[in-house]
Amino acid sequence: MANMSITKVPMPEQEPNVRNHNFKEVATGYTAEMAVEEAARCLQCKNRPCTNGCPVNVPIPDFIAKIAQNDFEGAYDVITSENALPAICGRVCPQENQCEGQCVRGRKGEPVGIGRLERFAADYHMANAESKPVRIEKNGKKVAVVGSGPAGITCAGELIKKGYDVTVFEALHQAGGVLSYGIPEFRLPKALVAKEIETIAKLGVDIRTNVVVGRSVTVDELMADGYDAVFIGSGAGLPRFLNIPGENLLGVYSANEFLTRVNLMKAYRFPETPTPVKIGKNVAVVGAGNVAMDAARTAKRLGAENVYIVYRRSEEELPARAEEVHHAKEEGIIFRLLNNPAAILGNEDGWVCGIEVVKQQLGEPDESGRRSPVPIEGSNYRMDVDTVIIAIGQSPNPLIRQTTPGLDTQRWGGIIVEEETMATSKEGVYAGGDTVTGAATVILAMGAGKKAAAAIDAKLSAGE
Amino acid sequence: MYKILKKEILNNSVELMEIKAPYVARKCEAGQFVILRVDRDGERIPLTIADFDRDRETVEIIYQKVGYSTERLSEKQEGDTIEDFVGPLGQPAPLPYDAKHVIGIAGGVGAAPLYPQLRALHEKGVRVDVIIGGRSGEFVILADRFAEFCDHVYLATNDGSVGKQGFVTDVLTELLENGADYDHAIAIGPLVMMKAVVGVTKPIGLPTSVSLNPIMIDGTGMCGGCRVTVGGQTRFACVDGPDFDGFEVDFDECMKRQTMFREEEHVCKIGRGE
């Protein structure tokens, strides 16, 4: 009997004014009873619009049916037939634009809480189930994967299951890529990321940290070393700056630096951990994507009194996930929309003491289809802030394209691939994720990793 | 984990370690650096490579005990391991192989990264001299090793305990005044020293490269913490450097940026009851 409630079973969360002082996870997750109740809202549509909206095609109605029948482990098996990182996707996917955006229940009321249910099944499995030892027949072929973020880990997981020997090369001391250094603990607990990666390592993937491809070893050297294919999933790690005066003042961070200090280096526990981060009383975060929301909410948790999102377009164009914007507002983040910084101001010692901001109005749509901001002349004003975090996007890291002859890239640095196979211009080399698209989402990177794995398998097994 | 094959105490605060690190040793060139973490949850600290042995797959680092993490590193002994060791990072130093006579100028522990650069030049037939400076005699390091290939090794100390009493720039100025025919200088040491060297070489148009070691985290271009202004442009020392044209570096900005976490460096010691 379907549950015809027009709203989702509410997600238990820490109170906004409690959680904005700690780094524990904001949403605490459904209980079994809540999950079964929410699962009963699914109408089990024949044509499965939700699955079509999923970049990795999880058979969503099937896993929801299992939850409704109290078969939680069965639900997990259904999800993992297509998605190697369900605990992560359940938390960070922009469901409103994907599966839930297509859900029939969403036409009248809220869609089924697919993300919440996916998270429930994954968390249930982690808490209760022993992972079953899998016997994989080796096929004697070797694939190298560059980067251990969502694209690389997914590609590696798919290939190891097909019998390949897979080595993942990670530049940092810890695997996970953006899941480790970028997304904060309160949104994606690091213990959970470690566990998902461990699952893949247990299948036999050799994860080598501290190897910078493009420096420690090149793509050509990997090929010469006997790898039959290379997948590049090196992400978009190069921070963009505004190129306005004052950006090198003390107290100005790229969002990458700020978040890496806090997430990867655990600066929120300083001085218990030795890597520091410095946060002032008044913080301006420039930008309004997911990274900007993460930076703003992190700044608040570190003790900043006033944290501003400074964004040059309006509410309608906000690129962050709806839930992140909602949570940020609940936690007291102040939105200064239609505002664009013109300069960062410093004191005699070289520290930030304010930003000069110009108000904007919206003009004609630009290339991205969003209405473009136009400065309002004479509207400049000063905001008193002592910390500025620049979160206006990242570009692909140049180390690999600079050291890999024959690898064609876009003018802005993205690696060019054939869309169906993720094959690059260089024989045997594939790429996917942010290094191809520029900064995008975890699930799109996973989709690309999966597609590349299928193409690599098709190519390498055709030779037999 | 990376094994410490050798440890040598060079003076009260400066030590040398030889680390087994195959990926770094196979590819590194003079001027490049590594990032290491002593233990789990440790800081990532950048150190310029002092020497390497491709056959034995080892890398030599020389560090000064200046804060929490280098103190922890110093507690490690031969045969122990350190948690992480990644590299080579940065660009190889753009060495002036077409120069005829190069003067290297080192301040304190800056002698370590200067050593492989001058040796590489010597191996290509460039004549090299070196000036090594330090607070007092014990801070003047590697003089014997430089002497193996440098035509002249000049020393300077603040207290006059070894070599000339004064700064490396005093020695440099004197050499230049006496007609030394240097056509390139490489200065590596504290920012204030490199700035002073450029103060001497720039007016006479003696090309000078310097090596920067700003605050950074990942060392791969990801954090942007190491940004420096060179020739009016923002560059990342970790991927565009660490060596730059000394005439173009904004040293004053570098010196300010180096103080970003000064209070925290203090708290880090107090917070741990040191």
Closest listed residue to residue A327, CA positions, set A31, A7, A91: A91
The answer to whether A284 and A385 have CB atoms below 8 angstroms apart is yes
Which domain CATH number covers A73? 1.10.1060.10
pLDDT at B259: 86
Going from N- to C-terminal start, the domains of chain B cover 2-83, 101-258
| CB-based contact A350 B257, cutoff 8 Å | yes
| CB-based contact B223 A239, cutoff 8 Å | yes
A263 & A361 share domain: yes
A91 & A195 share domain: no
Contact A209/B at CB under 8 A: yes
Mean pLDDT (whole number) for A249-266: 94
Confidence of residue B67 (pLDDT cuts 50, 70, 90): confident
Q: Which residue of B has its CA nearest to A241?
A: B224
| CB-based contact A217 B222, cutoff 8 Å | no
pLDDT one-digit tens code per residue, A359-404: 999 998 888 788 889 999 999 999 999 999 999 999 898 899 999 9
Domain termination site, one of A128, A160, A177: A128
Confidence of residue B101 (pLDDT cuts 50, 70, 90): very high
* SS3 sequence of A169-235: ECCCCCCCCHHHHCCCCCCCCHHHHHHHHHHHHHCCCEEECCCCECCCECHHHHHHCCCCEEEECCC
Chain A residues with beta carbon closer than 8 angstroms to that of B68: 274
Chain A residues with beta carbon closer than 8 angstroms to that of B272: 271
Confidence of residue B273 (pLDDT cuts 50, 70, 90): very low
Cβ-proximal residues to B210 (8 Å cutoff; 6+ apart), any chain:
B186, B187, B188, B194, B197, B198, B243, B244, B245, B246, B249
Mean pLDDT (whole number) for A224-244: 94
Domain enclosing residue A206, as ranges: 142-237+395-461
Cis peptide before A150 (omega within 30 of 0): no
Size of interface A-B (CB pairs under 8 A): 123
According to CATH, what is the number of the domain B101-258? 3.40.50.80
Evaluate if residue A135 carries a pLDDT over 90.
Answer: no
Contact A397/B at CB under 8 A: yes
Nearest Cβ partner for B220 among A171, A217, A270 = A171
Q: Which ranges of A225-360 would DSSP assign to H, the alpha helix? A: 255-259, 290-301, 322-330
Tokens of A67: 């939850």
User: Which amino acid would we find at residue B121?
Assistant: L
| CB-based contact A239 B83, cutoff 8 Å | no
Nearest Cβ partner for A397 among B83, B221, B271 = B221
Cis peptide before A271 (omega within 30 of 0): yes
pLDDT at A464: 52
CB atoms within 10 A of CB B147: 12
- Structural domain contains residue A271: yes
* ipTM confidence score: 0.90
| CB-based contact B23 A216, cutoff 8 Å | yes
- Structural domain contains residue A136: no
Mean pLDDT (whole number) for B110-122: 95
DSSP per position, B167-205: -HHHHHHHHHHTT----EEEEES-HHHHHHHHHHHTTTT
Contact A401/B at CB under 8 A: no
Confidence of residue B264 (pLDDT cuts 50, 70, 90): confident
Mean pLDDT (whole number) for B106-119: 94
Evaluate if residue A296 carries a pLDDT over 60.
Answer: yes
- Structural domain contains residue A11: no
- Structural domain contains residue A184: yes
According to CATH, what is the number of the domain B2-83? 2.40.30.10
Mean pLDDT (whole number) for A262-286: 91
Contact A220/B at CB under 8 A: no
pLDDT one-digit tens code per residue, A407-458: 999 999 999 999 999 999 999 999 999 999 988 888 899 999 999 999 999 9
pLDDT at B268: 58
pLDDT at B194: 97
pLDDT at B270: 55
Chain B closest CA to A241's CA: distance in Å? 9
Tell me the residues of chain A between 244 and 263 that have a Cβ less than 8 Å away from chain B. 247-248, 250-251, 253-254, 256-257, 260-261
- Structural domain contains residue A2: no
Tell me the residues of chain B between 77 and 96 that have a Cβ less than 8 Å away from chain A. 83-89
Nearest Cβ partner for A212 among B43, B220, B227 = B220
Confidence of residue B261 (pLDDT cuts 50, 70, 90): confident
CB atoms within 10 A of CB B57: 16
Domain termination site, one of A392, A411, A427: A392
A39 & A155 share domain: no
| CB-based contact B43 A265, cutoff 8 Å | yes
Evaluate if residue A53 carries a pLDDT over 50.
Answer: yes
Bridge partners, B208 (sequence order)? B185
User: Which amino acid would we find at residue A237?
Assistant: G
A387 & A250 share domain: yes
| CB-based contact A211 B265, cutoff 8 Å | no
Q: Work out how many domains chain A is built from and give that number.
A: 3
Chain B closest CA to A200's CA: distance in Å? 21
Bridge partners, A343 (sequence order)? A356
Contact B6/A at CB under 8 A: no
The answer to whether A49 and A70 have CB atoms below 8 angstroms apart is no
Tokens of B35: 């990032």
- Helix A32-39 to helix A60-68 angle (10° resolution) is 130
Q: Which residue of B has its CA nearest to A218?
A: B27
Q: Which long-range contacts (CB under 8 A, 24 or more apart) does A96-102 make?
A: A96/A321, A96/A322, A96/A323, A98/A53, A98/A54, A98/A55, A98/A443, A99/A50, A99/A51, A99/A53, A99/A54, A99/A58, A99/A60, A100/A50, A100/A53, A101/A53, A102/A49, A102/A50, A102/A52, A102/A53
User: Of A32-36, A365-369, A447-451, B207-211, which range is least confident?
Assistant: A365-369
Average pLDDT, chain B: 92
Chain A closest CA to B124's CA: distance in Å? 24
A454 & A401 share domain: yes
Mutate to test the interface with B, among A148, A210, A392 (most CBs of B within 10 A): A210
| CB-based contact B218 A171, cutoff 8 Å | yes
B265 vs B223, residue with greater confidence: B223
A316 & A291 share domain: yes
Contact A134/B at CB under 8 A: no
**Measured distance CA(A111)–CA(A60) in Å, rounded:** 13
CB atoms within 10 A of CB A358: 19
A301 & A419 share domain: no
Mean pLDDT (whole number) for B227-241: 94
| CB-based contact B257 A254, cutoff 8 Å | no
pLDDT at B262: 82
> Quick one: A243 exposed, middle or buried, by C-beta within 10 A (0-12, 13-18, 19+)?
exposed
Evaluate if residue A156 carries a pLDDT over 50.
Answer: yes
Closest listed residue to residue A93, CA positions, set A78, A114, A107, A108: A114
| CB-based contact A248 B83, cutoff 8 Å | no
Evaluate if residue A131 carries a pLDDT over 70.
Answer: no
The answer to whether A50 and A102 have CB atoms below 8 angstroms apart is yes
Chain A residues with beta carbon closer than 8 angstroms to that of B261: 276, 278
Mean pLDDT (whole number) for A204-229: 96
pLDDT at B52: 95
**Parallel/antiparallel/unpaired status of strands B152-157 and B127-134:** parallel
Domain termination site, one of A337, A364, A392: A392
Q: Which residue of B has its CA nearest to A174?
A: B84
pLDDT one-digit tens code per residue, A312-358: 999 989 999 888 999 999 999 999 999 999 999 999 889 999 999 99
A382 & A453 share domain: no
